[in-house]
Structure formats: C-alpha cells, structure tokens
Amino acid sequence: MRFVAATLLMVAMACRADSELRLAFPPDQLSGTTELGAIEVEGVGPVLLTAQKNGGQLVVHAQDPSGKVIGRAESVVGLSDTPIYVMTSGGLKKITIYWGSE
C-alpha cells in the first residue's frame, strides 16, 4: 500500500499544469462528439481535444498529431473545468479545459 501511495505521489509531482484551453461555451451545450480545438504540448506538438457528452457524463480525448489517443478524462457536465493528463516523452502533462470562460 505504501508503494502505491508513493508511486502516485511521484506521478502527481511530475505533472505540471503547463497548458490550458478556455472555451466560450459550457459542456452542457455539447452534442455528439465535438472538436474542442488543438493546443501545443511540449514534447508532442499540437494535441487535438475532443469531447462527448452522454447524459450527465463528459468524456474528453486527447490525440497526438498522428491520431493516437494519448489522454482521456471523464467528468460530469456542469463543472467549470476539466483536467486531462496526456502522455509525452517527458512524462505526464496536464491540460486544463475551462468551460464558459473565454
């Protein structure tokens, strides 16, 4: 148990809030799969973010330039922000999506 906690702490410390995406609309306005936009992530290049709403659940995917999914987040509709962690050559990077704040 201590090993797992120590490993999670190390992973969390290695993650930094390097990027953010601010959107003018809240997630409850999504329909189907929606392209949110691309954001530059160090070590990856442009990362495409897409979101899909299913009832009160929100699923966000991050894709690298080749189309490979390098991050996924699940949240609930109605929150003001959604963090998503993407895998890069230098470790995990955090992208925070701010809804209705552009």
Could you tell me if residue 21 is inside a domain?
A: yes
What domain count does the chain have? 1
Instruction: For residue range 74-94, list pLDDT tens digits in order.
Output: 999 989 999 999 998 889 999
Q: Which helix (H) or strand (E) holds 52?
A: strand 45-54
Could you tell me if residue 65 is inside a domain?
A: yes
Longest Cα separation, the chain: 43
Could you tell me if residue 52 is inside a domain?
A: yes
Q: Is 13 helix (H, G, I), strand (E, B) or coil?
A: helix
Instruction: Please provide residue 59's backbone torsions phi and psi, each rounded to the nearest 5 degrees.
Output: -120, 125
pTM of the model: 0.79
Could you tell me if residue 7 is inside a domain?
A: no
Could you tell me if residue 9 is inside a domain?
A: no
Q: Residue 89 is part of which domain span? A: 15-98
Average of per-residue pLDDT across 8-30: 71
Q: Are 60 and 47 in contact (CB under 8 A)?
A: no
Task: Name the residue with higher pLDDT: 11 or 88.
Answer: 88
